[in-house]
Structure 1
Amino acid sequence: MNLLQRLWWSHRLKGSDYQYLFRRDKTNKTTPKEYISLDCETTSLNPAQAELVTIAATKIIGNKIITSQPFHIRLKAPQSLDQGSVRIHHLRHNDLHNGYHEIDGIKALLAFIGNRPLVGYHIRYDKAILDRACKKHLGFPLPNPLIEVSQLYHQRLERLLPNAYFDLSLETICRHLDLPIQQRHDALQDTITAALIYVRLTYGSQPTPFIPK
């Protein structure tokens, strides 16, 4: 979202509890900037049809990942939850019986993330789903800037080997950066993995151009 769009939404939401989301970040330069690693589990891989099942987020402050205070909620089972969806995230209708209503989950998420930049693996997909839910219930999209960790990884390696091909799968990135590889993925664990990749690439040494097998 560019500056003009932010100004337009800020003006449109004047007097709203959500106007602050579209204001410029005025964080003190001496204070470590905060980011949010985010991941969602949905009923489909099609962003035009997918509905939210779980939402997870973890704060990153400077080079620290705040795993002790995560955001992790389940939503009530959406209509599109079927056997194919269950095979992906292993959450059945019964598992989601006590979940949040979507509007309440979105409001809780906004209170946690604010207008901080969002970090993630395939983060544009997650934002597309959340944008649709936010527009449906609150009338506006998320304003948060995005940081895609696979793109960040590619940029770091391309400095050493321009125009080379790099495997950008999550497992390969973790293996190359010597980060733990989780055998079973869920939304919260994936936020921590994306946060680890971001911190490693931002504050660690330059990765070698050769990916171990």
Structure 2
Amino acid sequence: MREIVLDTETTGFKPEEGHRLVEIGCIELINHVSTGERFHVYINPERDMPPEAFAVHGLSAEFLADKPVFNDIVADFVAFIGDSPLVIHNAAFDMTFLNWELKIAGYPTMPKDRAIDTLIMARQKFPGSPASLDALCKRFGIDNTNRSLHGALIDAQLLADVYLELLGGRQAGLALAGGPVSATGVPVARIERPHRDPRPFTASPEELAAHAELLKKLKNPLWLAES
């Protein structure tokens, strides 16, 4: 099962107010395990960077000025995600921006139910508890010390680990691979043994003759006494 863990950074909160995508980060999962395949790009939003957005992700208009515009990367992005489910934290936000950009570029938009929202998963699993990405990393003991600022790729990497924990942890992920499990849910190793034909247990004439010669050399052999 292929899934794409995805995160974005933007210039603001609402695309209808002129805000644009500035970064996309994607991590590929197969059966909930990262394959190492990724898609990451910075995007020139063709507008200024509001100070409040810069304070979140640290991407300045000057840094983004020589980066490709969305139209230049959309084909590669669409090819990478394919038709796989998208794992997103607060999916409504990212999906709104992605569909806005896709529509401008002349591409089909994506249905909202294509996204697996880890924010909803966390709120259902831990009602009343903080459900931000940082809070979930702390809950699950996931190291996010390199996350001084938001960044689409590093957030996608962290979210991939959080998603696995929300599903039940690493043992659950292994169990989902289809192997045998014990009564406690721990995967059981399967040992493959080659087939061997049954061993013959009847002595051959040669072995019987050799045994008789050996008995002749023994003094009062027990085998003869018993017979």
> Same fold, TM exceeding 0.5?
yes
Tell me which of 11, 20, 27 is aligned to 1:51.
Answer: 20
Residue 176 (structure 1) aligned with residue 176 (structure 2) = no
1:61-92 alpha-carbon deviations (Å, 9 max, x no partner): 113113x3211101124214233332222122
What is the aligned-residue RMSD (CA, Å)?
2.0
| Contact 2:118-2:163 within 8 A present in 1 as well | yes
Residue 40 (structure 1) aligned with residue 8 (structure 2) = yes
Find the counterpart in structure 2 of residue 91 from structure 1.
Answer: 59
Q: What amino acid maps onto 2:60 in structure 1?
A: R
Find the counterpart in structure 2 of residue 111 from structure 1.
Answer: 79
Q: What amino acid maps onto 2:122 in structure 1?
A: Y
Report how many aligned residue pairs link the two structures: 167
Residue 155 (structure 1) aligned with residue 120 (structure 2) = no
Runs of 5+ in structure 2 lacking a partner?
173-227
1:45-73 alpha-carbon deviations (Å, 9 max, x no partner): 2343320111111111113113x321110
1:128-153 alpha-carbon deviations (Å, 9 max, x no partner): 00101111111421247111112112
Runs of 5+ in structure 1 lacking a partner?
1-32, 158-163, 207-213
Find the counterpart in structure 2 of residue 187 from structure 1.
Answer: 152
Find the counterpart in structure 2 of residue 78 from structure 1.
Answer: 46
1:98 Cα deviation from its structure 2 partner: 2.7
> Residue 110 of structure 1: SS of its match in structure 2?
helix
| Contact 2:48-2:61 within 8 A present in 1 as well | no
Indicate the structure whose relative CO is greater, using CA pairs within 8 Å and at least 6 residues apart: 1
Find the counterpart in structure 1 of residue 190 from structure 2.
Answer: none
What is the distance in 2 between the residues matched to 1:36 and 1:197? 14
What is the distance in 2 between the residues matched to 1:46 and 1:101? 18
TM-score, structure 1 normalization: 0.71
What is the distance in 2 between the residues matched to 1:203 and 1:61? 16
> Residue 71 of structure 1: SS of its match in structure 2?
strand
TM-score, structure 2 normalization: 0.67
Larger radius of gyration: 2
What is the distance in 1 between the residues matched to 2:128 and 2:4? 29
What is the distance in 2 between the residues matched to 1:168 and 1:140? 31
Q: What amino acid maps onto 1:188 in structure 2?
A: L
Q: Which 4+ residue blocks in structure 1 deviate beyond 3 angstroms? A: none
Residue 128 (structure 1) aligned with residue 86 (structure 2) = no
